[in-house]
Structure 1
Amino acid sequence: MTSVRWASVATVAGCALLALVCLVAVLRGRTWAALPGLLATAIGFREVRVLQRHGH
Protein backbone atom coordinates (compact mmCIF):
# COMPACT_ATOMS: atom_id res chain seq x y z
CA MET A 1 0.00 0.00 0.00
CA THR A 2 1.37 3.40 -0.94
CA SER A 3 0.61 6.74 0.58
CA VAL A 4 -1.34 9.31 -1.38
CA ARG A 5 0.59 12.35 -2.54
CA TRP A 6 -2.01 14.94 -1.60
CA ALA A 7 -0.02 17.85 -3.02
CA SER A 8 -0.06 16.25 -6.46
CA VAL A 9 -3.75 15.43 -6.18
CA ALA A 10 -4.47 19.05 -5.24
CA THR A 11 -2.34 20.27 -8.15
CA VAL A 12 -4.28 18.09 -10.60
CA ALA A 13 -7.62 19.29 -9.20
CA GLY A 14 -6.52 22.94 -9.31
CA CYS A 15 -5.23 22.63 -12.85
CA ALA A 16 -8.46 20.96 -13.97
CA LEU A 17 -10.51 23.77 -12.47
CA LEU A 18 -8.30 26.46 -14.01
CA ALA A 19 -8.36 24.74 -17.40
CA LEU A 20 -12.17 24.60 -17.25
CA VAL A 21 -12.40 28.30 -16.41
CA CYS A 22 -10.01 29.14 -19.25
CA LEU A 23 -12.00 26.96 -21.66
CA VAL A 24 -15.19 28.82 -20.79
CA ALA A 25 -13.37 32.13 -21.27
CA VAL A 26 -12.06 31.04 -24.68
CA LEU A 27 -15.54 29.94 -25.73
CA ARG A 28 -16.84 33.37 -24.74
CA GLY A 29 -14.31 35.05 -27.06
CA ARG A 30 -11.39 35.72 -24.71
CA THR A 31 -8.58 34.33 -26.85
CA TRP A 32 -5.92 35.38 -24.31
CA ALA A 33 -7.20 32.63 -21.97
CA ALA A 34 -6.00 29.88 -24.31
CA LEU A 35 -2.36 30.09 -23.22
CA PRO A 36 -2.93 29.82 -19.45
CA GLY A 37 -5.47 27.06 -20.13
CA LEU A 38 -2.98 25.05 -22.15
CA LEU A 39 -0.30 25.58 -19.52
CA ALA A 40 -2.61 24.41 -16.73
CA THR A 41 -3.58 21.36 -18.78
CA ALA A 42 0.05 20.45 -19.41
CA ILE A 43 0.93 20.79 -15.73
CA GLY A 44 -2.09 18.70 -14.76
CA PHE A 45 -1.13 15.90 -17.17
CA ARG A 46 2.44 15.96 -15.89
CA GLU A 47 1.23 15.59 -12.31
CA VAL A 48 -1.07 12.72 -13.30
CA ARG A 49 1.94 10.94 -14.78
CA VAL A 50 3.89 11.56 -11.54
CA LEU A 51 1.03 10.06 -9.54
CA GLN A 52 0.85 7.04 -11.83
CA ARG A 53 4.60 6.48 -11.63
CA HIS A 54 4.58 6.85 -7.85
CA GLY A 55 1.81 4.27 -7.56
CA HIS A 56 3.82 1.48 -9.17
Structure 2
Amino acid sequence: MRSVRWASVATVAGGVVVAFACLAAVVRGRVWAWVPGLIAASVALREVRALQRGVR
Protein backbone atom coordinates (compact mmCIF):
# COMPACT_ATOMS: atom_id res chain seq x y z
CA MET A 1 0.00 0.00 0.00
CA ARG A 2 1.29 3.42 -0.91
CA SER A 3 1.53 6.31 1.47
CA VAL A 4 -1.38 8.69 1.60
CA ARG A 5 -0.93 12.10 -0.01
CA TRP A 6 -2.34 14.12 2.88
CA ALA A 7 -2.02 17.44 1.07
CA SER A 8 -4.32 16.19 -1.67
CA VAL A 9 -6.78 14.78 0.86
CA ALA A 10 -6.83 18.14 2.64
CA THR A 11 -7.36 19.93 -0.68
CA VAL A 12 -10.35 17.71 -1.45
CA ALA A 13 -11.83 18.25 2.00
CA GLY A 14 -11.32 22.00 1.83
CA GLY A 15 -12.77 22.20 -1.66
CA VAL A 16 -15.86 20.30 -0.62
CA VAL A 17 -16.38 22.54 2.41
CA VAL A 18 -16.02 25.71 0.33
CA ALA A 19 -18.29 24.32 -2.40
CA PHE A 20 -21.03 23.52 0.13
CA ALA A 21 -20.66 26.93 1.75
CA CYS A 22 -21.02 28.58 -1.64
CA LEU A 23 -24.00 26.38 -2.44
CA ALA A 24 -25.65 27.53 0.78
CA ALA A 25 -24.95 31.14 -0.23
CA VAL A 26 -26.48 30.56 -3.66
CA VAL A 27 -29.60 29.08 -2.08
CA ARG A 28 -29.87 32.20 0.08
CA GLY A 29 -29.84 34.37 -3.05
CA ARG A 30 -26.16 35.29 -3.43
CA VAL A 31 -25.67 34.80 -7.17
CA TRP A 32 -21.97 35.75 -7.00
CA ALA A 33 -21.25 32.57 -5.01
CA TRP A 34 -21.60 30.40 -8.13
CA VAL A 35 -18.12 31.30 -9.37
CA PRO A 36 -16.03 30.40 -6.29
CA GLY A 37 -18.25 27.38 -5.68
CA LEU A 38 -17.62 26.00 -9.15
CA ILE A 39 -13.90 26.68 -8.88
CA ALA A 40 -13.68 24.92 -5.52
CA ALA A 41 -15.67 21.94 -6.80
CA SER A 42 -13.50 21.62 -9.91
CA VAL A 43 -10.28 21.74 -7.87
CA ALA A 44 -11.63 19.08 -5.50
CA LEU A 45 -12.65 16.88 -8.43
CA ARG A 46 -9.23 17.26 -10.03
CA GLU A 47 -7.53 16.23 -6.80
CA VAL A 48 -9.82 13.20 -6.41
CA ARG A 49 -8.81 12.09 -9.89
CA ALA A 50 -5.14 12.63 -9.06
CA LEU A 51 -5.53 10.53 -5.91
CA GLN A 52 -7.20 7.77 -7.90
CA ARG A 53 -4.39 7.78 -10.46
CA GLY A 54 -1.88 7.37 -7.64
CA VAL A 55 -3.61 4.19 -6.47
CA ARG A 56 -3.38 2.44 -9.84
Output the TM-score relative to the length of structure 1.
Answer: 0.99
Q: Could you say which residue in structure 2 is the equivalent of 1:35?
A: 35
Output the TM-score relative to the length of structure 2.
Answer: 0.99
Q: Could you say which residue in structure 2 is the equivalent of 1:45?
A: 45
**Ranges in structure 2 where 5+ consecutive residues have no aligned partner:** none
Identity of paired residues, percent? 61
**Ranges in structure 1 where 5+ consecutive residues have no aligned partner:** none
Q: Structure 1 runs of 4+ off > 6 angstroms?
A: none
Superposed CA RMSD:
0.3
How many residues matched?
56
Cα-to-partner distance string for 1:6-41 (whole Å, 9 max, x where unaligned): 000000000000000000000000000000000000
